């Protein structure tokens, strides 16, 4: 048989071999690190026997599929430890997730994070026992009896809900057996670095009418050093939590009267407005015109667009004059109505409508998370109408715009191409044409991308831009979505050079995505230490004592007259206290004013970037800060704040 490997090379074997044996034939190092296999695109165990020509990828912890198998095995080890310590516990499901694994369990006794050390200790014993992990199958009746005898009702329910002809696979390690599709490691031995992280409540199958279970989250790695690094990153992330920083800097708030609906405070509005000022400048320069569409439109529009069929559970509605209206969850149908407002010619294309529209989406209360997941937010949309032969050039134009913005805000990013989901509109031919258009544009720019199978929008494929922050986390922000469906649904047209009517292609795209969410990501990336041009307060004027208030007021007034956002700290506090407070507020510049400064007409400058910068004339200081703001510079910090 012929085995085609990931790098395109081909291996030939006379007889059937397991995935692990093939890995060992390639190299002993690969065999030691292998976690699972990918056989013709399907993830399989290392124990799976290969007996035919196929494409095979050996997955290690560095691959998502290998990481999933490793962490899924850790979830089973945790469940086994729990059953040893709490025999009456009832297990439901325990998958791997992007950031670790979890298991949902019903306990007959009180359970808290205080129980974690005992469970971790038992998990270490299981790892040390080096239990062989074996896969086997059972007939349905036998499997149901197996779990009924062990008082595992959730497993019985899962089996009963599977199709009659479904193969029921199980994994056994020592005395522990679980219903599972796999794949898993060959034994418990490799799982040496793990930690239980937190508890949460989770309704069985996500239904609030069902039993509330205890969800235990955990993380695991192949090396202790990787776990330590992860814990360090988590601690850093806690310091950078935008909810904490937002409260300290008085950027935004939430109220019980409006869960998931953010309130922007004066400082937060300054930050948002400065960000949008930059957004508008760059869009004007790139040929966009800004529009605004209503926040509420008739339900018929959303039926035509397809949103009602695919998205209605996330939409808010209201009755007006006996007709149903929908509060918009997207801006695109409004842009379509603007396009249809007048006849269009090929000479207008590409026609680029930009809209910072307020949208509302019904999110479950448990999913709400600061600015990262809200029920009302501003989407920095653009909807573009182009001719078919403009696809590649226009997508490339948008990619360059997104690249410029992310570089200005100092974000690295990678691109994912999300393809057709199961729940989609339109023909396979349209989807293939749209997907190939996105691929071609990115490839001709010399950029790389990953394929994200089945995660496109219901109306078309998309390029997603995942920004990476300074501690390695990634956030999906920008997107470019190609759409042949809505122009067809709304019978859009333009007059071509041949005098005939043609249907345009529609592009949906965002740079920030949700402006609120992007502010949350930006806040955490810079830990609230925004560049001067974005800082709500750019300069804090700090008189050493009340004797120098008159001079301080004059300095503050001159700063404001030159467009610098300045605040005067008039409190009768010691200067050391005022400096510490300004540092906590993450102000870029402090001007410390006393007798020497007043007599010489100077200011003593202390910055977030260099610490003590010495005395300067106010005129020179203003000129430099104005230049920094005008150029939207990002000064680097050359000193470490002892309070960080």
Determine contact, residues 441/396, Cβ cutoff 8 Å: yes
Q: Give backbone dihedrals phi and psi of 163, rounded to 5 degrees, phi first.
A: -55, 150
Look up tokens 């040893």; give the residue. 84
Say what the pLDDT of residue 639 is: 61
Q: Is residue 605 part of a domain?
A: yes
Q: Is residue 247 part of a domain?
A: no
- Average pLDDT of the chain to the nearest whole number: 93
User: How far from the centroid of its chain's Cα atoms is residue 259's Cα?
Assistant: 21
Mean pLDDT, range 255-277, rounded to an integer: 96
The reply to whether 387 and 275 lie within a common domain is yes
Determine contact, residues 135/187, Cβ cutoff 8 Å: no
For residue 563, pLDDT over 70 is answered with yes
Q: What is the CATH number of the domain that holds 287?
A: 3.30.930.10
Q: Taking the model in full, what pTM does it have?
A: 0.81
Full domain range(s) for residue 576: 539-630
Helix (H, G, I), strand (E, B) or coil at 41: coil
Say what the pLDDT of residue 491 is: 95
Q: Is residue 636 part of a domain?
A: no
The reply to whether 406 and 257 lie within a common domain is yes
Q: What is the CATH number of the domain that holds 21?
A: 3.10.20.30
453: confidence class by pLDDT, cuts 50, 70, 90 = confident
Say what the pLDDT of residue 460 is: 82
Mean pLDDT, range 508-531, rounded to an integer: 94
| C-alpha to C-alpha distances, 609 to 523, 526, 590, nearest whole angstrom | 18, 13, 11
Determine contact, residues 465/406, Cβ cutoff 8 Å: yes
Q: What is the CATH number of the domain that holds 94?
A: 3.30.980.10
The reply to whether 354 and 493 lie within a common domain is yes
Say what the pLDDT of residue 343 is: 96
Helix (H, G, I), strand (E, B) or coil at 453: coil
The reply to whether 447 and 387 lie within a common domain is yes
642: confidence class by pLDDT, cuts 50, 70, 90 = very low
Closest CA relative to residue 192, chosen from 97, 103, 127, 121: 127
Look up tokens 């409190």; give the residue. 571
Mean pLDDT, range 335-339, rounded to an integer: 97
Q: Is residue 319 part of a domain?
A: no
The reply to whether 38 and 73 lie within a common domain is no
Question: Of 467, 496, 525, which marks where a domain is finished?
Answer: 525
The reply to whether 41 and 133 lie within a common domain is no
- How is residue 480 written in tokens? 């470019």
For residue 641, pLDDT over 70 is answered with no
For residue range 587-638, list pLDDT tens digits in order.
999 999 999 999 999 999 999 999 999 999 999 999 999 999 999 999 988 7
Q: Look at strands 96-97 and 100-106 and give their pairing.
A: antiparallel
The reply to whether 502 and 564 lie within a common domain is no
Say what the pLDDT of residue 640 is: 59
The reply to whether 198 and 84 lie within a common domain is yes
Largest CA distance in the chain: 94
Q: Is residue 610 part of a domain?
A: yes
The reply to whether 403 and 509 lie within a common domain is yes
430 or 328: whose pLDDT is higher? 328
Q: What is d(CA 7, CA 57) in angstroms, rounded to the nearest whole number?
A: 9
Let me know how long the chain is.
644
User: How far from the centroid of its chain's Cα atoms is residue 347's Cα?
Assistant: 38
Say what the pLDDT of residue 1 is: 75
For residue range 530-558, list pLDDT tens digits in order.
999 999 999 999 999 999 999 999 999 99
Which helix (H) or strand (E) segment holds residue 566: the answer is strand 566-568
Mean pLDDT, range 315-338, rounded to an integer: 94
Q: What is d(CA 356, CA 90) in angstroms, rounded to the nearest whole number?
A: 49
Q: Is residue 309 part of a domain?
A: no
The reply to whether 213 and 265 lie within a common domain is no
Question: Of 37, 60, 83, which marks where a domain is finished?
Answer: 60
DSSP letter, residue 511:
E
Q: Is residue 285 part of a domain?
A: yes
438: confidence class by pLDDT, cuts 50, 70, 90 = confident
Q: What is d(CA 271, CA 277) in angstroms, rounded to the nearest whole number?
A: 10
Helix runs in 86-200, H state only: 116-129, 140-149, 153-161
Q: Is residue 183 part of a domain?
A: yes
What domain count does the chain have? Answer: 4
The reply to whether 41 and 152 lie within a common domain is no
Say what the pLDDT of residue 479 is: 92
Which residues carry out catalysis? 332, 361, 379, 381, 383, 462, 508
**For residues 37-71, b (16+ Cβ closer than 10 Å) or e, as one string?**
bbbeeebbbbbbebeeeeebbbbbbebebbbbbbb
Say what the pLDDT of residue 122 is: 97
Question: Of 18, 36, 60, which marks where a domain is finished?
Answer: 60
The reply to whether 473 and 552 lie within a common domain is no
- How is residue 488 written in tokens? 């067809």
Q: What is the CATH number of the domain that holds 609?
A: 3.40.50.800
């Amino acid at each position: 048989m012929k085995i085609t490997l990931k790098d395109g090379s081909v291996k030939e074997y006379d007889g059937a071999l397991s995935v692990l044996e093939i890995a060992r034939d390639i190299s002993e190092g690969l065999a030691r690190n292998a976690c699972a296999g990918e056989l013709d695109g399907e993830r399989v165990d290392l124990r799976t026997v290969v007996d035919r020509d196929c494409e095979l990828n050996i997955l290690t912890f560095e691959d998502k599929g290998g990481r999933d198998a490793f962490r899924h095995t850790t979830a089973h080890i945790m469940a086994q430890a729990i059953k040893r310590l709490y025999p009456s516990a009832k297990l439901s499901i325990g998958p791997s997730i992007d950031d670790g694994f979890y298991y949902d369990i019903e306990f007959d006794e009180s359970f808290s994070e205080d129980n974690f050390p005992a469970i971790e200790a038992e998990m270490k014993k299981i790892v040390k026992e080096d239990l062989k992990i074996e896969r086997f199958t059972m007939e349905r009746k036998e499997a149901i009896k197996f779990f009924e005898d062990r008082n595992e009702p959730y497993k019985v329910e899962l089996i009963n809900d599977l199709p009659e002809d479904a193969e029921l696979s199980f994994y056994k390690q020592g005395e522990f057996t679980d219903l599972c599709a796999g794949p898993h490691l060959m034994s418990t031995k490799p799982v040496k670095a793990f930690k239980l992280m937190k508890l949460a409540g989770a309704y069985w199958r996500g239904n609030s009418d069902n039993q509330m279970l205890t969800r235990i989250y955990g993380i695991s790695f192949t090396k202790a050093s990787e776990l330590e690094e992860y814990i360090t990153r988590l601690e850093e992330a806690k310091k950078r939590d935008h909810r904490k920083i937002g409260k300290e800097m008085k950027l935004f708030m939430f109220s019980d009267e409006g869960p998931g609906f953010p309130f922007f405070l004066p400082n937060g509005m300054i930050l948002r407005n400065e960000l949008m000022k930059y957004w508008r400048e760059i869009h004007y320069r790139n040929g966009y015109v800004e529009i605004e569409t209503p926040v509420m439109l008739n339900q018929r529009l959303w039926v035509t667009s397809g949103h009602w069929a695919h998205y209605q559970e996330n939409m808010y509605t209201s009755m007006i004059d006996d007709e149903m209206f929908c509060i918009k969850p997207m801006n695109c149908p409004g842009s379509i109505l603007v396009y249809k407002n007048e006849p269009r010619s090929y000479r207008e294309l590409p026609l680029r409508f930009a809209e910072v529209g307020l949208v509302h989406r019904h999110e479950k209360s448990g999913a709400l998370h600061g600015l990262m997941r809200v029920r009302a937010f501003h989407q920095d949309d653009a909807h573009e109408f182009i001719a078919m032969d403009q696809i590649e050039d226009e997508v490339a134009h948008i990619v360059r715009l997104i690249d410029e913005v992310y570089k200005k805000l100092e974000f690295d990013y990678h691109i994912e191409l999300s393809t057709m989901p199961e729940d989609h509109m339109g023909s396979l031919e349209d989807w293939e044409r749209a997907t190939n258009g996105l691929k071609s544009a990115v490839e001709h720019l010399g950029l790389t991308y990953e394929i994200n199978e089945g995660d496109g929008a219901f109306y078309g494929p998309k390029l997603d831009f995942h920004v990476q922050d300074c501690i390695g986390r990634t956030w999906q922000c920008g997107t470019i979505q190609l759409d042949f469906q809505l122009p067809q649904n709304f019978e859009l047209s333009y007059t071509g050079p041949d005098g005939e009517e043609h249907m345009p292609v529609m592009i949906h795209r965002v740079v920030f995505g949700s402006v609120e969410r992007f502010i949350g990501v930006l806040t955490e990336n810079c830990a609230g230490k925004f560049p001067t041009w974005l800082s709500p307060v750019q300069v804090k004027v700090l008189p050493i004592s009340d004797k120098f208030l008159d001079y301080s007021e004059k300095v503050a007034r001159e700063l404001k007259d030159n467009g610098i956002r300045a605040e005067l700290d008039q409190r009768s506090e010691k200067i050391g206290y005022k400096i510490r407070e300004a540092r906590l507020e993450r102000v870029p510049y402090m001007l410390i004013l006393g007798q020497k400064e007043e007599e010489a007409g100077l200011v003593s400058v202390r910055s977030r970037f260099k610490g003590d910068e010495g005395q300067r004339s106010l005129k020179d200081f203003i000129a430099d800060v104005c230049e920094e703001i005008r150029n939207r510079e990002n000064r680097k910090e050359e000193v470490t704040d002892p309070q960080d």
